[in-house]
Structure 1
Amino acid sequence: MFVGHSLVAFAVGALAATRLGVGRDRALQFGVFAGLFALVPDIDIAYAPVALALQSVQTIDPDTFWNTANIIHRGPTHSLLFGGVLAIGAAFLAGDRRIGHVAGAGVIAGLIAVAGVTGGSAVAGITVVYALGGVVVATAARRRGVPAPAVLAVAFLGLLSHPFGDLVTGSPPLFFYPFDAMLVSHRITLHPDPTLHLLGAFLIEIGTVWLGIWTYTRSHDVSIRRLVHPRAGLGTGYSGAVFVIPPPTLHDAVVFVFSILALSAVGVGLLSHPFTRPIDALGTIVTGTATVTVAAVGYGVAYLLF
């Protein structure tokens, strides 16, 4: 859900701002910053390369990397409590008053101190990186004229929506870290068949891409249907992959994900579709997404039939 986290926050932020009477460009700007804040919690993956480097690991495969990352991944950075505190600190720093900057720095310093006391130096270190990520986004928003109350709103939206997106793809986040209270104890299972569960999760991710596309095209009065090139129908050919690759699962999805995404390059005609105008870039994104969608549905149908 890496892309999905951002696009859901972008869409909700932009649509909510529009509903509140904010102008189109400003609403999209708010959505973009909500999407950027939604990316910040996954900055905890930085723990993996640092830890592996300190251990002098010479050969790193995907399993080794993710097993190391998951030691801290979806911990304090995915806490609703930590996210709320970081949003408040970031909003203070995005204001114009010096006292607000001091208050923001104090709030974030307190967050890091709590992380250190409850989780040790590694957790404190990741929280520092997490907080810096939030501060960078807030600073960028401030430089583009986004007022502090709006920064607070988009920060809350991005940081607090992110953890819920992980409920179908991994172990549930520690929503109330540093407390032991559990909001969700098990991953949500979309289907008992692990391959169909993966397909469901993948289609949810694709759905968030469509949501982001719809939000943008709606604001510009552009028809999505007119942006889809017939080449997207080539995605149906991916149904043949059911006879070629082993049935993918969440734990073994690399071949499936990379092969189906590579197919999008064929759908958009990567070498023959120059980015000569902005509409060409948008058409490329829409056609590529349509190709992947058709491919995933085609694979699912073939999997059920054969």
Structure 2
Amino acid sequence: MFVGHSLAAFAVGTLAARRLGVGRDRALQLGAFAALFALVPDVDIVYAPVGLALQSAQPIDPEVFWTTANVIHRGPTHSLLFGGVLATGGALLAANRRIGRVTGAGVVAGLIAVAGVSGGSAVAGVTAVYAIAGVAVAVFARRHGVSAPAVLAVAALGLLSHPFGDLVTGTPPLFFYPFDATLVSGRLTLHPDPTLHLLAAFLIEIGTVWLGIWTYARSRDVSIRRLVHPRAGIGTGYSGAVFVIPSPTIHDASVFVFSLLALSLVCVGSTPHRFTKPVDALGAVVTGTATVTLAAIAYGVAYVLF
């Protein structure tokens, strides 16, 4: 859900800003910063490469990497409480007044200290990386003319929306960390068949991509339908993959996902996009997304029938 987190925040931020009367370009800018903030919680996977590198100089096995990453992944960085505090601290650090920046620094330092007390040095270190990333986005937004209150709004949108996007793809986040309170006890099951569950989760992800594309195209008065190249139809041929690749699940989806992405790249690469204008790049994205969407649906239909 890496892309989905970001594009969902982008769409909601942009559309909300437009609804409040913000100009088109500024609304897109605010949406873009909300998207950046939505990526920040996943910096906690830094724990895996750092931890494994310190333990061994041997090449890192992908399965071992993700097992190690999940030790801390979706912990403090996915807490709604930590997200709210970081959004506040980042906005204060992005303020013009010195007292605001000093207060913001204290808020962020306190966040890291709480993480250390509750989870130890490893959790404190990951939280520090999380906090630095969030502050960096906040300062970057302020330098591009975004006011401190607006920074607070887009930071809260990005940081607090992110954890909910993980409910169908893995272990539920610790929404109220460091407190031992449970909001959701288990992963939401979209279908009892693990392959159909994966397909449903994947289509939700694709749906957020389409939402982001639609939001941008609508803001630029561009017709999505006219951007889709007919070659996207080759995605329907992916139905034959049901006879070739093992039935994918959430825990074993790499072949399925990467083959879909490879198909979309082949489709985009064979279309006459010159990428000399922004609309050309958007056309490539739209065509690639349409290819993946048709391929996933075709695979799902074939899986159910055969």
Q: Normalising by structure 2, what TM-score?
A: 0.99
For the aligned residue pairs, the C-alpha RMSD in angstroms reads: 0.9
Q: Could you say which residue in structure 2 is the equivalent of 1:236?
A: 236
Q: Could you say which residue in structure 1 is the equivalent of 2:130?
A: 130
Structure 1: which 5+ residue stretches go unaligned?
none
Which whole-Å CA distance do the structure 1 matches of 2:134 and 2:230 have between them?
41
Which whole-Å CA distance do the structure 2 matches of 1:75 and 1:248 have between them?
27
More displaced stretch, 179-188 vs 56-65: 56-65
Matches within 5 A, 1:58-207: 58-207=58-207
Q: Deviations over 1:128-167 (max 9, x none)?
A: 0000000110011011000000000000000000000000
Provide the aligned length of Structure 1 versus Structure 2.
306
Give, in angstroms, the shift of residue 60 of structure 1.
2.1
Give, in angstroms, the shift of residue 272 of structure 1.
4.4
Which whole-Å CA distance do the structure 2 matches of 1:44 and 1:156 have between them?
18
Query: Structure 1 runs of 4+ off > 6 angstroms?
Result: none
Q: Deviations over 1:3-57 (max 9, x none)?
A: 0000000000000000000000000000000000000000000000001011115
Q: Between the two proteins, what is the percent identity of the paired residues?
A: 80
Which whole-Å CA distance do the structure 1 matches of 2:53 and 2:220 have between them?
47
Which whole-Å CA distance do the structure 2 matches of 1:28 and 1:241 have between them?
38
Which whole-Å CA distance do the structure 2 matches of 1:269 and 1:117 have between them?
52
Give, in angstroms, the shift of residue 220 of structure 1.
1.1
Structure 2: which 5+ residue stretches go unaligned?
none
Which whole-Å CA distance do the structure 1 matches of 2:47 and 2:31 have between them?
28
Q: Normalising by structure 1, what TM-score?
A: 0.99
Q: Could you say which residue in structure 2 is the equivalent of 1:220?
A: 220
Which whole-Å CA distance do the structure 2 matches of 1:135 and 1:245 have between them?
43
Contact 2:171 2:186 in 1 (8 A): yes
Give, in angstroms, the shift of residue 117 of structure 1.
0.4
1:254 is aligned to 2:257: no
Contact 2:229 2:271 in 1 (8 A): no
SS of 1:304's partner is: helix
**Partner amino acid, structure 2, of 1:152:** L
Q: Deviations over 1:218-262 (max 9, x none)?
A: 111111100000000000010000000000001111100000011
SS of 1:21's partner is: coil
Q: Could you say which residue in structure 2 is the equivalent of 1:267?
A: 267
Q: Could you say which residue in structure 1 is the equivalent of 2:288?
A: 288
Which whole-Å CA distance do the structure 1 matches of 2:159 and 2:259 have between them?
31
Contact 2:37 2:158 in 1 (8 A): yes
Q: Could you say which residue in structure 2 is the equivalent of 1:50?
A: 50
Q: Deviations over 1:47-99 (max 9, x none)?
A: 00001011115142221010000000000000000000000000001110010
Which whole-Å CA distance do the structure 1 matches of 2:129 and 2:277 have between them?
38
Q: Could you say which residue in structure 1 is the equivalent of 2:304?
A: 304
Which whole-Å CA distance do the structure 2 matches of 1:109 and 1:271 have between them?
51
